[in-house]
Amino acid sequence: MNKPVKILIVEDDGVIARVIASELESWGFEAEQATDFSAVTEAFRRYGPQLVLLDLSLPYRSGFHWCGEIRKISKAPIIFISSAADNMNMVTALHQGADDFIAKPFDLPVLVAKVQALLRRAYEFPAAPEVLVCRDAALDTGAMVLSFNGGKIDLTRNEFKILQTLMEHKNAVVTRQAIMRRLWDDEHFIDDNTLTVNINRLRKKLEQAGLADFIATKKGEGYIIGERDAGH
């Protein structure tokens, strides 16, 4: 991108918001702080950011609400930043369409690393989209859609990356570390539970579409697609 990447910071603690903005700007990003927390979607439309940093506890409406509203109009990456980093909130954030969840307090270099990694994943354009096929399911890598039995399954970015990685290595076990590197570039910045949440959510979506047991677990090794009789 020739122009600076725009990042919208939706954080009602002014001190935290300013510190984050200053750090991002020192890395060459353009950062804007939301000020009207009753109109976050309007701020998003006006500013047109490539990424959103979103607090969970906000005046008027929660971050969950605004994440869902932004997802109705954009696929721009969303990272939750919150001190309420329990498993339930992480799961809810991912269900609302968030790409990551960072617990407060956090180190600014870790935040910047996650922002950079997510931007690289979100805005890379594959030269030649292809279709990966396994067990009568076809993954369109250009549209990020899985087709099966006459229907189409819409996938989040993380769900797509997981399926793409496993289908590229069908009939072979892929370790959790390899998947985390594919999703987040460096697994050391990621809570292992976040991958589990993504895998479980993807499995539920596949099961609802008629693809139960599509992703099998090899205990102590990782995950595999291709073996119908593989156990969980």
Q: Are residues 167 and 71 in the same domain?
A: no
Partners of 82 in beta bridges: 103
Specify the amino acid at residue 51. Answer: L
Residue 71 pLDDT: 92
Query: Which residue in the block uniquely carries the two structure tokens 């991108």?
Result: 1
Domain-located, residue 39: yes
Q: Are residues 109 and 158 in the same domain?
A: no
Provide the residue range defining the domain that includes 195: 131-224
Instruction: Evaluate if pTM is beyond 0.75.
Output: no
Of 100, 122, 144, which residue constitutes the final position of a domain? Answer: 122
Identify the CA nearest to 94 among candidates 74, 80, 112: 80
Domain-located, residue 136: yes
Instruction: Judge contact between 225 and 135, C-beta under 8 A.
Output: yes
Q: Are residues 136 and 205 in the same domain?
A: yes
Q: How many domains does the chain have?
A: 2
Give 192-219 pLDDT, tens digit per residue: 788 888 999 999 999 999 998 999 999 8
Residue 64 pLDDT: 93
Give 121-173 pLDDT, tens digit per residue: 888 644 455 788 888 888 988 788 898 888 888 888 889 999 999 999 989 99
More confident residue, 70 or 104: 70
Q: Are residues 117 and 151 in the same domain?
A: no
Q: Kind of pairing, strands 137-140 and 131-134?
A: antiparallel
Identify the CA nearest to 112 among candidates 122, 102, 97: 102
Q: Are residues 25 and 114 in the same domain?
A: yes
Question: Residue 4: pLDDT band by 50, 70, 90 thresholds?
Answer: confident
Write out the two tokens for 206. 């596949």
Average pLDDT value for residue range 183-197: 69
CATH code for the domain in which residue 171 is found = 1.10.10.10
Pick the range with the lowest mean pLDDT from 173-177, 217-221, 228-232: 228-232
Torsion of CA 153, 203, 88, 65, to 10 degrees: 0
141 torsion bin: left (phi>0), alpha (psi -120 to 50), beta (else): alpha
Q: Are residues 17 and 59 in the same domain?
A: yes
Q: Are residues 145 and 214 in the same domain?
A: yes
Domain-located, residue 229: no
Cα 112 off chain centre by: 16
Q: Are residues 190 and 86 in the same domain?
A: no
Query: Which residue in the block uniquely carries the two structure tokens 């890395």?
Result: 27
Domain-located, residue 166: yes
CATH code for the domain in which residue 112 is found = 3.40.50.2300
Give 14-26 pLDDT, tens digit per residue: 999 999 999 999 9
Q: Are residues 43 and 103 in the same domain?
A: yes
Is the pLDDT at 30 greater than 60, yes or no?
yes
Q: Are residues 98 and 166 in the same domain?
A: no
Give 34-62 pLDDT, tens digit per residue: 999 999 999 999 999 999 999 999 999 99
More confident residue, 151 or 224: 224
Residue 136 pLDDT: 83
∠ CA 128-141-129 to the nearest 5 degrees?
10
Q: Are residues 141 and 45 in the same domain?
A: no
Distance CA 182, CA 190 (A): 12
Residue 53 pLDDT: 97
